Amino acid sequence: MEPRTDNIVIEYTLRFATLFHCGTGIREGLVDRTVVRNNQEHLYIPGSSFKGILREKCEQLARAYIQDEQEKQRIASPHIAEVALLNLGRKPTMITRIFGSQNVPGSLFFDDALQSGEDVQMEISRYKELQVGVYTQVRIDRPTHTAVPGALYTSEFGTKDTEFKGTIQGWLSCVPIDRPGDTLERIPGTGMAPTYSSLLLLAGLQLVERLGGNKSTGKGQCECRITGVAIREKNCPEAVWKSWLGQLDVLTQYQEALEG
């Protein structure tokens, strides 16, 4: 079956239930680990950071629904040279279609997630120092369970209950789910069902639950909520795309659809 190229816009919110750290890697004054800010000194979530954690979740889902072991090996970090060689001359995986690879450029763009809303921006500008807390930490030597000498450091963390709004937009080319006997709802007025990759992307967004550094200590816990979906400039109602998520077993048919 021939791929279909869709213009896609997905809007989402990220709300943090705990402190979080999206670091700059730069020390400033007495703070060893600072968090990212824009030119107005407002915190934001880099699109690259969100794309990375979302890719991880989509890879986990794809492996769960792919039966062929060789195909599972093709779903791995694009920085692994052996994986790049496995994909040469082969049709793209669902992951490659969404995020790109060393061989195939991605055409979806992950914008930085910002704290939006005029009232919110004014409040942040008045109380910039309240966006973050500074905490002192010490690195522990695992074998001895004692503090490592000279390993005392301070880190900035964004405060909990902070909410960001982000957008994923661009073009996604994949095989549409149009198999005999499928019961997927169509977008009203268009007759369009999702493609395999767009369904995987929507499902992966629902699995994002931690973001940033210090996740092993409970930091970065968040809720990702999809607030809008448009495919080919047609709004996809929430009831429709949520019904798609209840039929993820169709992802097992991706390889068969490619060959059909």
Q: What pTM value is reported for the model?
A: 0.87
The sign one gets for the Cα dihedral 122, 125, 126, 130 is positive
Closest among 25, 28, 33, 20 to 154, alpha carbons compared: 33
DSSP run (H or E) holding 222: strand 222-231
Q: Containing domain of residue 229, as a range?
A: 4-259
CB 152 within 8 A of CB 55: no
Angle between helices 196-207 and 47-65 (to 10 degrees): 110
Q: For residues 256 and 94, what is the distance between their CA atoms, to the nearest angstrom?
A: 13
CB 211 within 8 A of CB 13: no
Q: For residues 14 and 45, what is the distance between their CA atoms, to the nearest angstrom?
A: 9
Question: CA 228 → CA 8, 93, 96, 110, 142, distances in Å?
Answer: 11, 25, 23, 15, 45
Copy the structure tokens of residue 12. Answer: 């989402």
pLDDT band at 165 (very low <50, low <70, confident <90, very high): very high
Q: What are phi and psi of 182, to 5 degrees?
A: -70, 150
Count of Cβ atoms closer than 10 Å to residue 92 Cβ: 19
- The model's pLDDT over 99-135, given as tens digits with 9 standing for 90+, comes to 987 777 889 999 999 987 655 655 566 666 778 888 8
- The model's pLDDT over 198-217, given as tens digits with 9 standing for 90+, comes to 999 999 999 999 999 888 88
Residue 118 has what pLDDT? 55
- Count of domains observed in the chain: 1
